[in-house]
Amino acid sequence: MAQPHLGLIVPPAAGAVPVDGPLLYGERIRFSARGLGLGEISTRGYLDVIDSVVAKAVALKEEGVSAISLMGTSLSFFRGAAFNRQLEIEMARATGLPCTTMSNAIVNGLRHLKVRRVAVATAYIDEVNAQLRGYLQQSDFEPLALEGLSISDVQAVGKVPTRALVELCVKVFEAQPGADGILISCGGLVTLDAVREVEERLQVPVVSSSPAGFWDLARTAGLDARSPGCGRLFAWTAPA
């Protein structure tokens, strides 16, 4: 059987495959990425690149991928749930392939783990946090405490240490009782270690943008998205 080949549209200009893909799936799935050249994590930055998403999807189709994800959470939720859905439709129409977004991924992951009341930790500035709160509410979730690290630099998010992520997750979880689980939002954060640590410490499920993005894309492609030892989301699942 041929190795599955999936496509990623990523915010950084370099167009590198995020580290979570190989960590989760090793040689089981091959990934190709195209970069958008996002200048900053803000509405101004998103507006500069959003119109090039469909062209990047078409370029990935020409590389032979069988499904595509826009692997930017805030880039797909900043205009709300309806816009995210329209973006998915336009990508699919232009390529003829199954397409999804990282905003779909976090919603699908939370629903899969039966999380509705959610504590939210992000990399974002306040403007983007407000957009995320709106997107979650439009998607029938109840965001309780929501706090970000106030980062707008695209490169800086990848350097946030695991300890800082764990501490922020604990802070938002304890700030307002009653959360069913935790969301870590921003595809640039490196979070697999933090997810495992927070799930063990707080005994609730954690959905994080980048791992969830790969999980969701694998399911969109009809593949087995499990990856033992990588958190509750990857423990048992079926194709979408």
**Given this model, what pLDDT does residue 160 score?**
98
Task: Say which CATH architecture domain 105-208 belongs to.
Answer: 3-Layer(aba) Sandwich (3.40)
Domain range list for the chain:
5-102+211-234, 105-208
**Given this model, what pLDDT does residue 236 score?**
67
With 0.95 as the threshold, say if the pTM is over it: yes
Short-list 76, 110, 48, CA closest to 187: 76
Q: Considering only the top CATH level, what class is 5-102+211-234?
A: alpha beta
**Given this model, what pLDDT does residue 85 score?**
98
**Given this model, what pLDDT does residue 239 score?**
46
Contacting residues for 166 by C-beta, under 8 A, at least 6 apart: 194, 197, 198, 201
For residues 135 and 192, what is the distance between their CA atoms, to the nearest angstrom? 24
Short-list 79, 81, 145, CA closest to 108: 81
Q: Are 63 and 95 in contact (CB under 8 A)?
A: no
Average pLDDT of each block of 10 consecutive residues along the chain (240 residues)? Answer: 94 96 97 97 97 98 98 98 98 98 98 98 98 98 98 96 98 96 98 98 98 98 96 74
Q: How many Cα neighbours within 13 Å face the side chain of 122?
A: 27
The reply to whether 5-102+211-234 and 105-208 are identical in fold is: yes
Cβ burial 127-138 (10 Å sphere, 16+ → b, else e): ebbebbebbbee
Helices assigned H by DSSP within 30-114: 43-49, 53-62, 73-77, 81-95, 102-112
**Given this model, what pLDDT does residue 1 score?**
73
Tokens of residue 70, six digits: 């826009």
